[in-house]
Chain A
Amino acid sequence: MTDIAAPTRWKRLNLEIRDHMPFWQQSIAVAAAFAVGLIISVVILMISGVGLADLWNEFVVFIFTSPKNISAVLVQAAPLIIVGLSAGIAFKARFWNIGIEGQVIFGAIGATLVATYDIGPEFLRLPLMAIFAAACGMLWMALPVFLKLRLQVNEIISTLLMNYIAFNFLLHLLYGPWQDPVSAFPHSEQFESFERLAPLGWQSLNYSLVIAIALVAFCAWLLLSSRYGFLLNFVHSNAKMARAVGIRVALVTLFAALASGALSGIAGFAISAGIESRMTQSFFIGFGFSGILIAFLARNNPLAIVLVALFVSTLMIAGQSLQVFYQIPFAMVQLIQAIIVICVAASEFFIRHRIRWVE
């Protein structure tokens, strides 16, 4: 017999699934995690040589006291909100759309196609660009979702691969047929004034923000009060059960994935027609993963997506001035996002689990 001199009672750290935590406790946990993330980020920035007072000025004072900066934040937020919605609706169906960048690219290609070949009359040009953008984004999603539903091909990988195919196709267009004939730079020719999203009349704000808000309203209705949203909740919570009670899970998933693709396409349109006024070779960079992280932090809730997108956009605008005045690389913005995601994700663990010592 193995000789084990053991104590009569033993203690060990035991992990249990917590069935329920009141909403207010959850909110406090998430808010605390957010705060911890921000504090870590501030410490990193201070180590990098930005004083606390400077940070306060850059992130709070300059942004919220200057109409110009407020509008810059809002303009930047519009496409972020849209990609956040795109990621959120796909994740609701447990469809991991990692291919948002590819769909953003194809959205912009669709819009630029209309602009470059002057399709349709001038007054219909913008709506046509938007429709083409949505259709192209959706089209770019069609293959991965078909492969997923028909052949169980993992969508994480397929949508990811589609990003690179889209990117190379974009480069092909910009170094080839769609190269700007005026400047000979590798970007498309500038959109005409009626091909750009019109300014709203206050600072640099333009209609891309209106589009984003309209899409938020649409998604809020779709996910929170329509029958489809009700069914989607079941697909999200337990797909096997959803199928067994007669929900057409494949159809629900298909719709969510295609809507996600269309939303990303529209984001591509909003960036090219609302911010850059043309298609460049880097306009999409960072939007895919930002969208995914925004949706994650907002727990796929359309209204929370707006808040998180505004936060990320504030980071980006402040990040631009940090870059200019303090030589802090712009990638700092991504670093802060990552830190906050890590903190919030860690808090989720404590929301879902309870740790206690057992004897």
Chain B
Amino acid sequence: MTEIPDRNDASADGGPDLNGSDPVLTMSGITKSFGDFLALDNVDFDLKKGEVHALLGENGAGKSSLMNVVAGLYAADHGTIHVSGQPVSIKGPSDAQDLRIGMVHQHYKLVMPFSAVENILLSHPGGSYEQSLNQMREDIAQKAELIGFDVDTDKPVASLSIAEQQRVEILKVLVAGANFIILDEPTAVLTDEEGQRLLNAIRKLADNGNSVVLVTHNLSEALNHSDRITVMRGGRVVDTVLPKDVTPPELTRMIVGETISETPELSKVAGVPQLKVRELQASRTDGLAVIKNVNFDVRRGEIYGIAGVGGNGQGELVEVLTGLLPVTSGNLYLHEKGDITHSRADERRSFGIACIPSDRQTYALAGGLSVSDNFAISGVLNGSYGSWSRIDRRKMQSATDAAVKKFDVQGVRSRTQRAALLSGGNAQKLVIAREFSGQPGVVIAHSPNRGLDVRASAAVHNHLKSARDRGAAVILLSEDLDEIMLLSDRIGVMNSGAIVAEFDAPADRHAIGKAMVGHD
């Protein structure tokens, strides 16, 4: 930062002064609910000048919600915010901007057909258009140089890479003059090398007198790259600590709370290959080739884990396996059914391929329909509940009742209740109840513990293990390496659209990690 505005707090020299200085931004007693769901429960958080403050927690712990409140996107139900000791009211993003608070969201807020300059200009109206366009180019170049970024300012951002788009987002915040900079899970979508570059840039920002909030679920990132760590769980702050004062196991306990120790149990009987994937290639609907060469076998009675950084083709692989995305080349063979490469999605389901997608509210549940309808749909399709001319509602409902009980789906007040009202864990259990109802021979589970608390995720894992134990071939794709290590009998690593390495459990974590981030 070249210009640091005058402040009335102690440390005007710009250097980090972490123990002594007063916080420059304080949030206290922040509470926020969405309907019945309490996202933030009386949260306190503060930020000092020149520090990198990690906000650590699992998915759904309330980190993003808290930051959205300070960025003006959410209105808190209760609570106060002080900036430099003054109470402030943040009614919208522009108030946040006036207070020099800037946030880089997990999903970039970029207008894709616009160039970087145009995107950044959007937040800075006024003055002659041409002049401000040129002024903006200069400002961007200046800020970029300061933290070692380079970005093409005049290409449509749609044609930039994810890392470049992120740089545009960060520059946007800097050009707006922010010195409170919030980065929401910035490294999640980056390669290792890009992530390292980013973390270095973040440090430079702090050294220049800015305050940075690094929202993350990654332990080592928080430990190695922050000055203070605040841990959140279930909408509450667990504690704020200094990295030197905690050990990773302690931090883990703070993040997950009660430790439900799941112990790996390996498969007892791995049988014949149930599904064979050979030289698979596929392109997204926009034409980009995302699956470049995937080969693997999954045997009956084993869990085949596919590890990898998100966005390396896992989502598309799931779509190809379930028949939603056509292959460009390669083959899929199902035991006893032969080549199913060109079978439709409904045919594959009838062959006993079940799927638990990562985005269950979009791909596994119709939120506006009842719990009972959502459970019964697969049975309706295979003719279990009445004929084409008449749906047997009574049979459907008693089956739903039985499944809700068996899979411990809680929060079902009535069978006609809309599925959207179920919490994440219970929605996932409902999906599993449906997908397992046909005794599938192949189960594809994509990040099945996403957004779930420890207890629910243990329940989900047990269901996967029991499916394996009764002889199903289970494919588990997850970005959470712990989940993969815990459950898998064999592990494939997916990187840039290919399975680049395979390991037998118990596998070496470092070797897997290396394969995940390695380049070609």
Interface positions of A (Cβ within 8 A of B): 1-2, 4-10, 12, 14, 16-20, 221, 225-231, 233-234, 237-238, 240-248, 358-359
Contacts and interface: CB of A to CB of B under 8 A. Distances in A.
B212 interface: no
16 contacts: A1-B6, A1-B99, A4-B89, A4-B95, A7-B89, A8-B80, A16-B34, A19-B35, A221-B389, A230-B391, A233-B373, A237-B367, A241-B363, A244-B345, A245-B378, A246-B349
Nearest to B83: A1
A10 B89 contact: yes
A229 B386 CA distance: 13
A228 B388 CA distance: 7
B357 interface: yes
Given A20-B421, A233-B369, A9 B80 contact: yes
The 3 closest A-B pairs by CB, nearest first: A246-B346, A237-B366, A10-B89
Interface in B331-352: 344-346, 348-350
Contact of B366 (A5, A9, A241): A241
Contacts of B369: 233-234, 237
B349 A245 contact: yes
B390 A226 contact: yes
A5 B89 CA distance: 9
A348 to B, nearest CB: 14
Given A230-B391, A244-B345, 11 more contacts: A1-B6, A6-B89, A7-B87, A9-B80, A18-B35, A226-B389, A227-B387, A230-B377, A233-B373, A244-B357, A247-B381
Interface in B380-397: 380-381, 386-391
Contacts of A5: 86
Nearest to B355: A244
Interface in B36-60: 36
Contacts of A1: 5-8, 83-84, 99-100
A228 B391 CA distance: 9
A237 B346 CA distance: 19
Nearest to B365: A241
Which size bracket describes the interface of B in this complex? 35 or more
B292 interface: no
A226 B346 contact: no
Contact of A241 (B346, B348, B364, B391): B364
A64 to B, nearest CB: 37
Contacts of B100: 1-2
Given A4-B89, A241-B363, A230 B373 contact: yes
Contacts of B355: 244
Contacts of B362: 238, 240-241
B88 interface: yes
Contacts of B83: 1
Contacts of A359: 77-78
Contacts of B417: 20
Contacts of B373: 230, 233-234
Given A234-B369, A246-B349, A12 B388 contact: no
A225 B364 contact: no
B91 interface: yes
B420 interface: yes
B363 A240 contact: yes
B98 interface: yes
B324 interface: yes
Pick from B324, B362, B391, B417 the residue with the most CB of A within 10 Å. Answer: B391
A241 to B, nearest CB: 5
Given A9-B80, A226-B389, A227-B388, A245 B381 contact: yes
Contacts of B99: 1-2, 4
Contacts of B368: 237-238
A230 B380 contact: yes
B322 interface: yes
Contacts of B322: 244
B141 interface: no
B87 A246 contact: no
A12 B391 contact: no
Contacts of B86: 4-6
Contacts of B76: 358
B138 to A, nearest CB: 23
A9 B87 CA distance: 9
B418 interface: yes
B75 interface: yes
B378 A6 contact: no
A359 B417 CA distance: 31
B87 A16 contact: no
B115 to A, nearest CB: 27
A225 B388 CA distance: 9
Given A2-B98, A12-B75, A243-B324, A234 B389 contact: no
